[in-house]
A and B are shown apart, each in its own frame.
Chain A
Amino acid sequence: MIAMLNAPNVIGSYVVTLGGIALYTWRMLARGRKAARQVPRQDRPWT
């Protein structure tokens, strides 16, 4: 288990990592949704 002395830094590193990834993912998907409203479905090569 995590010793209390180091807990803020250890937990902080996980929060920064997972929080950073989550924030980036949310912003990226929001941008995709916004752009997709103006692009017909047949113009998406991956669908």
Chain B
Amino acid sequence: MTGFMTSPHHLPGNPPGAPAATDRAPTSTPFSRALGIAALVGIGWLVVFGLFLSPNDRVQGSAVRIMYVHVPSAWLAYLAFGVTGISSIAYLWKRTRSLAWDRLAGASAEVGVLFMGITLVSGSLWGRITWSTYWTWDARLTTTAFLFVTYIGYLAVRDLGGTHQQRAKRSAVLAVLAMMEVPLVHFSVSWWRPLHQNETVENGKLNGLMLFTLFVGLIAFTLLYVWLVLHRQRVLTLVDQVDDQGLDAAIAERRNEAVPASGGAT
């Protein structure tokens, strides 16, 4: 036999047309591979410029180098939560309702939580140098932590169970509400005058190589975000399909169980 079932590359019991078990990059496409390479190159540049080529700050010294990962992480978290909110609105709007929007929202929120976590940790390490403490309950830090916890809650709500449509609807409502927190975090530095510094780029406090390095970080992290969300929403699609298959199999099994019972009764 030379059929696919005899092939060592397939799992036993898989239906015809099933993918190979050695399929190492099932969510990859030529475009995503190119994007991934571009993001990796960008991150390499960021490490070289951020750690070695950019100058020390007159006031903060070498601690300013944390900015090149801290600020892009925060920017990406805002972007990710914004995409989650907009995708959720697209799902809730009947004319554009599609589970693809829900999966995009979920993928973006997960990546946003990752970047928000990185923002909090890198900010703590920076704060230890500049403020002599890892944490203080000032307005920016507190609202950021609150935003982080809110989106962890959003991800927990997505895992509550039910049909894909139920998941999509309840999480979309929550995402739209959670999105309103993002401006609160961003403008907290101007509204409450906390310990956290004001916007550095908007106020023109950076120039030359420092500004260039920051933009390298922003571009690299944005490319990385697109790559991560692209793959994550494809993984979510696969997981949803596996769930559907499991449900179909369970229904078929119950039907098969019912056939002999009904046959015996007649």
Contacts and interface: CB of A to CB of B under 8 A. Distances in A.
A13 B66 contact: yes
Interface residues of B, number: 49
Interface string A21-38: 100110011011101111
B232 interface: yes
A29 B231 contact: yes
A35 B25 CA distance: 11
A36 to B, nearest CB: 3
Given A33-B24, A44-B234, A20 B118 contact: yes
Contacts of B51: 2, 10-11, 14
A1 to B, nearest CB: 7
Contact of A41 (B19, B114, B117, B235): B19
B143 interface: no
Contacts of A28: 228, 231-232, 235
Summarize A's interface: helix, strand, loop or mixed: helix
Contact of B19 (A10, A39, A45): A39
B47 A33 contact: no
Given A10-B66, A14-B69, A24-B114, 8 more contacts: A16-B121, A18-B47, A20-B121, A25-B228, A31-B235, A37-B18, A37-B19, A41-B18
Interface of B: 11, 14-15, 17-19, 21, 23-27, 29, 43, 47, 50-52, 56, 61-63, 65-66, 69-70, 73, 111, 114, 117-118, 121-122, 125-126, 128-129, 224, 228, 231-232, 234-235, 237-239, 241-242, 245
Interface of A: 1-3, 5-7, 9-14, 16-18, 20-21, 24-25, 28-29, 31-33, 35-47
